[in-house]
Structure formats: structure tokens, C-alpha cells
Amino acid sequence: MGKELLRVSEKLTLEQQACNYETVKHIRLVQHYLNKFAKALINRGEVHDETKLHSPEVELFAEYTDQLAKFTYNSEEYNECKKKLAPALEHHFAREKHHPEHWTNGVDDMNLVDVVEMFVDWKSSSERQHNGNIEKSIEINQKRFNISPQLARIFQNTIEFLES
């Protein structure tokens, strides 16, 4: 883009060149922020749920994860099994920012990196869950975490992107 811009700029007025200069500055700043965001997401992916691999979480997750996957998300059986995981979940939520339970005000306190990781976590979890369904998870979690209709719609719109 840089060399092409220089060649094109020879044919432009000074006013047009000045405008292009400002536009290129804007483009570079957008690239900077998108790269920062992308790097943060890559880093999150690399360390996602690592706390589950160590004590005090690993013992309980090893015992109950397979059982939990057999139940429909948010069913009575699922929630009963989840109660047995409570000590591990409390530890996990205290350390993992992509869970609304980590935050005093839930999703309202999260940033976009947290929200993206949370959504991808929901999508991945729904794929290992008995009759898992990301649309149903969004519906349940919208009520559970007081998620706005607008954000829930964004999640719905993102399903196709992840599945394509």
C-alpha cells in the first residue's frame, strides 16, 4: 500500500494528498488496534481453562465432567451434578475472566476479549454436551446473566461465522 500510495499521490492535489495522509494514519491505527485485539484473543486461546488442569480443580472436574456432559444443559440433573463441582467452579470462576461469575456485575463488567472468549466457550461446551445447542445456551444464559437482547442477537449472528 505504501509504494502505491506514493505513486498515486503524484497525481493528486496537495489537499488530496493531505487527506490521504490522514486516512493512512487512520488505517494504520485501526490495524494496530485490531492486531492488539487479535493477539489478546490468541493469548486467551493458549491459556483457556488451564486452571482445570491443576489442583484444586482437576480432581473434581475429572470426577464430574463426563457425568455433566450426559445431561441437558441447565436441566435439573445438570444443575444437581454442577453443585458437586461447586468448590472447583468457585476456584475456576475466581481466576477465569471469561466467566460472568468472575465479575461483580457479570457480563456488564467484561471487555470484548472476555465476551468473545465466553461466547466461544459456550459454543465449544454446547458441542460436547448431551443434545447441546448453542442457540438454547444463548437463550438460557441471556436470562441467567441478564444479557441484553442486542448482545444476544450478536451472539446469534456469530454462530454462522463459527460454523462456516
C-alpha 12/C-alpha 148 separation (Å) is 47
Q: Considering the domain boundaries, does residue 132 fall inside one? A: yes
| Banded pLDDT at 157 (limits 50, 70, 90) | very high
Q: Considering the domain boundaries, does residue 10 fall inside one? A: no
Q: What is the DSSP string of 34-51?
A: HHHHHHHHHHHHHHTTGG
CB 118 within 8 A of CB 79: no
**Structural domain that includes position 136:** 48-163
C-alpha 109/C-alpha 105 separation (Å) is 6
Q: Considering the domain boundaries, does residue 124 fall inside one? A: yes
| Banded pLDDT at 44 (limits 50, 70, 90) | very high
How distant, in Å, are the alpha carbons of 19, 69, 98, 125, 158 from that of 141? 46, 17, 14, 13, 16
6 has pLDDT over 60? no
> Residues 79-87: what's their mean pLDDT?
96
Q: Considering the domain boundaries, does residue 36 fall inside one? A: no
C-alpha 28/C-alpha 38 separation (Å) is 15
Number of structural domains in the chain: 1
How distant, in Å, are the alpha carbons of 129, 159, 161 from that of 164? 21, 9, 5
| Banded pLDDT at 11 (limits 50, 70, 90) | confident
Please tell me the pTM assigned to this model: 0.89
CA angle at residue 72 from 141 to 89, to 5 degrees? Answer: 60
CB 160 within 8 A of CB 135: no
Residue 5: the pLDDT is 52
Residue 7: the pLDDT is 59
